Amino acid sequence: MATTTNPLPAPDFHPELSALCERLPGLHPIAADIRHAFVLMRDSLHAGGKLLLCGNGGSAADADHWAGELLKGFRSLRPLTSDQRATLPPSIAGRLQGAIPAIPLHNFPAYSTAFGNDVDPVLSYAQLVWGLGRPGDVLVGLSTSGNAANVHAAARVAASRGLRVIGLTGRAGGKLASVCDICLRAPASETYRVQEYHLPIYHCLSLMLEEEFFG
């Protein structure tokens, strides 16, 4: 992976982001973009929004993995607040964890096979964004090339519906980059190397969001 001798622009960077760039110096050039992505997600979630995640193949697996880190405790146990616990039996309240709402869009097999067969599989994610997305939500599209047609179509629909759009791509960005509010371009081109960068990026964002919402 690439290295850099440039110092981190540390003043308003989250400690997790600074630590990420220390571990993987190749991500230093996109550190400001990662911070911007965090701000978009943070502001949406504070306003009652949610995250919609989509990708194909390994990127679909990454979307699922990422949602798993958000919907339950990641590094923190995220215990419920006293007000939240008051509405539930102790046997349930004591085992639940705080959650960040995130939906991996590939996990609708009955819908996706029906829509793909009856209408157009390329527009399957786009239809879900149309149905589930609301203004102020965030769509995160993962595409190592940036040219996945179904992810690009979903991003186009998201932008038209008033959602913010974050892309995770490789170095080139592809067609997806032109539709995104912010595109996190991993400093690689080969699919497996792009994916090797995507995982630590979304782990870092998960840690930043967890600290923001659960302290």
Q: pLDDT at position 13, please?
A: 73
Structural domains of the chain, count:
1
Contact between residue 182 and residue 36 where contact means Cβ atoms under 8 Å apart = yes
Q: SS3 of 157, please? A: helix
Q: pLDDT at position 30, please?
A: 96
Q: pLDDT at position 202, please?
A: 98
Residue 13 in domain:
no
pTM for the full predicted model: 0.92
Contact between residue 100 and residue 70 where contact means Cβ atoms under 8 Å apart = yes
Residue 51 in domain:
yes
Residue 203 in domain:
yes
Domain hosting residue 165, numbered range:
24-214
Q: CATH no. for residue 157?
A: 3.40.50.10490
Residue 106 in domain:
yes
Residue 174 in domain:
yes
Q: SS3 of 53, please? A: strand
* Closest of 57, 148, 60 to residue 103, by C-alpha: 60
Other CB atoms within 10 A of residue 122 CB: 15
Residue 75 in domain:
yes
Residue 2 in domain:
no
Q: Are strands 138-142 and 51-54 parallel, antiparallel or unpaired?
A: parallel
Residue 19 in domain:
no
Q: pLDDT at position 192, please?
A: 97
Provide the angle, in degrees to the nearest 10, between the axes of the packed helices 31-46 and 191-214. Answer: 50
pLDDT per position in the chain (215 positions), as tens? Answer: 333 334 434 436 789 999 999 999 999 999 999 999 999 999 999 999 999 999 999 999 999 999 999 999 999 999 999 999 999 999 999 999 999 999 999 999 999 999 999 999 999 999 999 999 999 999 999 999 999 999 999 999 999 999 999 999 999 999 999 999 999 999 999 999 999 999 999 999 999 999 999 98
Contact between residue 98 and residue 214 where contact means Cβ atoms under 8 Å apart = yes
Beta bridge partners of 169: 185
